[in-house]
Structure formats: C-alpha cells, structure tokens
Structure 1
Amino acid sequence: MMMTETHKRQMPNKEVETKKQRGKQTSAKDTVAKAEKNASKPTYSRKDILKLRDDEIPPVIDRFRGTYSFLSNFSTYKVFYMGDTYYSAEAAYQGAKAATDLQRMKMVRVKRPDFARRIGRNMKPIRADWENVKLRVMYDIVKAKFLQNEKLQAKLLATRDRMLIEGNDWGDTFWGMVDGEGENNLGKILMRVREEIKTDLKAKIEQEN
C-alpha cells in the first residue's frame, strides 16, 4: 500500500516526539544524579553563619564560599595594615610584596581582590626578603582583618572549633589544598587567629570579673 502525503508528514513528527521524550528522561536522570551527588556535600549558602546552629556547621569547612566567604582573602573587607588602608586582605598581602612606595600605593587603590592578585603576581621587583617573611605578613594581615571588624570577629568565632581549609581548584597547595593535598597555610593561620582571639576574650572577661 502506498503512503499518502499525510502519512509521510506525520512519521518524522513521531520520531521527533520520541527523541524529545528520551531527552526528557535523560535530563531527569541527570538532575537526580546531580542532586544525590550534592546531597553528600556540605552546603555553602548565603546564610549568615551567626544564624546557624552548631549542628548546621560541617565538621570541616573546606570551601571559603557562600556562608564562609568571609574567611577568604578575596572578601571585600577593608584592612588597615602598616599605615595604609586596603580594600581587601588580598590587596594588603600583594601590597606588602612591593619593593617601592609607588608599587604599594598602586595596590592601595585596587578595589577588586582578583585584580590585586593579578597585579601582585606580575609585580617586579618585589622585596628581596619576601619568601622569608610572607607567612608572617599573611598572619599579621589576617589578624588585622578580624580584629578591626567586630562582626567579622564574631563570624570567625562562630566557626567554633571546626577545621578550616582553603580548598581550591586553581592549584594553590601552599595557602590551601587541592583534592585533599596541600599545606593549607591560610587555613592554619585562620585557626591560629581564632584561638588567639578566644584566649584574649577569655582573659578580658576574667579581668573584668
């Protein structure tokens, strides 16, 4: 039996509908798979850590994003360091590399942390003793950041005794960790500063009583 023109036009449409149905099924499976994968990970919402219960904070904070973005040097909180006010801890750190006042003053004016990092990485020359002092510089800047902002200090204390790790995907195994490997020096500094603030507050309370 010969096909009519109507039948010929309808057949491709059925094939298209079948492909669409298969596509929807695959899409649904992918969505479920992603949801299951994400369910096993700690969430990094924009919720304020000061509003979280203890059981809502993961035992290890390994991403400085969302709720925990304030821990990152890229968070845009001003820091007064060595006589200058920077727009972020990152800018202060990169400015501390400077071998000249002109280089340092340029960094003081940089508002975006990502620009500060880019400029700092290309800065030439840098101070001759940089490799020997950079850990101490980072500690001083991180401590200044939290001591100079009461709300930030409260947020840091709100992490309780959790392990702090700057997990990242840009390959920094000195300040952070990649796939569980690295020195995590920024995380260690943050935990050290947190403990020192706790100790100082406890001593202050004891003196007042």
Structure 2
Amino acid sequence: MKKILKKIASPLQIIVEESNTIKFYGVKNKNGLFSNFYQSSIKLKGKVWQTIEHSCQAQKYTGTAKEEEIRNFPCSGTAFRLGRKKNKQYPLRNDWKSVKDDIMQEAIKAKFTQHDNLKIILLSTKNHKIVEPTERDAYWADGGDDKGKNMLGILLMKLKKELSAENKNEDEQI
C-alpha cells in the first residue's frame, strides 16, 4: 500500500513506497520533480539553463559551441542525446569523470534553492531514501536492481540534509 505525504505549497505530491523509499523516473511518472529532465530553469555560471539535464550535459563541453547548442536546445531529451553524442570536433572534457558529481551537486542545489516550492517538497521527504530505479543507468540510478550507485538519489539526500541543517540554524537564530 502506498502512502501519500500531504501536498505542500504545490500541486505536486510525493508518493512514498512501502519501504519508505521515494522512487522517481522521468518527469511524467510519480515523483517526477526529482528528475533532471523536470522543467525548472536554473541560473548557474552566469547562464540560464532550462533544466538540470541541459546544464549537466553541456558541462561536458564547457567553453565550446556544443555547450551553447545543448543549453539552447528546447527539449531536455534532445539535450541528453546531444550531450552523450561523441565526436572529434567536440571531445568530452578530460576531467569529466572526476568533476561530474560536483557539477551535478551544483545544479541540483540551484534547482532546489532557486524554486521555493521544490525546496519545500525536498525537505518534506524527511528521512526517506530517494532512488531513481532504472536499468538504463547504474551510476546516477540504481541499475534497476538496487546494485547501481544511485548517485543522483545520494546527491539529492545530501542536499536535503544540508538544507535541513541550514533551516534549523535559521530557526535557532530567530
């Protein structure tokens, strides 16, 4: 049986699985606001990005025409495909593997701090585990079998903890 947390400052609802886990995959499915494809523009590095997906895919090609091509593309799905498409003209940045988690964390923080309704919803997830369940990705998601790294979920939970601590400190100062 599924439990629904109350609606908070938004028409969006969070659905918690029996295992006290919040699962999300894609923007049109339950809990889709946690997806990087969710339409919520962010300001980052002096630019406006339509979605986290646009920002993170483009950062693979920082300072090139491909970065701007990805940033300006109207569809996050195509931005995803452009970011993964390798070619000799726009090679993947050399340090991508070592910086991708920090780039993702920065984009997630922008999304959930620049949109108050999303911040409230993230904080409302309390101690629930956040997981992206898909066999399509064993790094950012759980690999479909809970054996993947689930780095996107881990980074969301890390941000939730950080924002919760900040709120607690602000409350204590009042």
Which TM-score bucket, shorter chain as reference? 0.7 to 0.9
CA distance in 1, matches of 2:62, 2:163: 32
How many residue pairs are counted as aligned between the two chains? 164
- TM-score, length-scaled by structure 2: 0.84
In the alignment, residue 140 of structure 1 is paired with which amino acid?
E
1:4-153 correspondence to structure 2 within 5 Å: 42=2, 49-50=7-8, 57-58=16-17, 59-64=20-25, 66-123=29-86, 124-153=90-119
In the TM superposition, structure 1's runs of 4+ consecutive aligned residues that sit over 6 Å from their partners are: 51-54
Tell me what 1:191 maps to.
157
CA RMSD of aligned residues (A): 2.5
Residues 207, 179 of structure 1: alpha-carbon distance in 2 compared, 3 angstrom cutoff: same
Instruction: Tell me the distance in 2 between the aligned counterparts of 1:96 and 1:52.
Output: 29
Deviation string, structure 1 residues 59-112 (Cα, Å, up to 9, x no partner) = 011234534110010111101111111110000001111143312111221221
Which is worse superposed, 102-111 or 84-93?
Answer: 102-111
- 1:108-153: CA deviation from partner (whole Å, max 9, x where unpaired): 2122111111000014312211111001111111111101100110
User: Equivalent residue for 2:124?
Assistant: 158
Secondary structure (helix, strand or coil) at the match of 2:48 reads strand
Q: 8 Å contact 1:86–1:108 — kept in the other structure? A: yes
Q: Given that residues 99 and 126 in structure 1 are in contact (C-alpha distance below 8 angstroms), is that contact kept between their aligned partners in structure 2?
A: no
SS at match of 2:61: coil
> In the superposition, relative to structure 1, how do residues 205 and 109 fare at CA in structure 2: closer, same or farther (>3 Å)?
same
Deviations along 1:1-37, whole A, 9 cap, x unmatched?
Answer: xxxxxxxxxxxxxxxxxxxxxxxxxxxxxxxxxxxxx
Q: Are residues 52 and 146 of structure 1, via their aligned partners in 2, closer, same or farther at CA, if it must alter by over 3 Å?
A: closer
Query: Which protein has the bigger helix share?
Result: 1
| Structure 1 position 202, deviation (Å) | 0.9
* Structure 1: segments with no counterpart, 5+ residues: 1-39
What's the TM-score, normalizing by structure 1?
0.71
> Residue in 1 aligned with 2:170?
204
Specify every segment of 5 or more residues in structure 2 that has no aligned partner in the other structure, as ranges.
none
Q: Give SS of 1:97's match.
A: helix
Once residues 132 and 12 of structure 2 are traced to their aligned partners in structure 1, the CA distance between those partners, rounded to angstroms, is 21
Partners of 1:48 and 1:67 within 8 A in 2: no
Compare CA radii of gyration and give the structure with the larger one: 1
Q: Name the structure 2 match of 1:36.
A: none
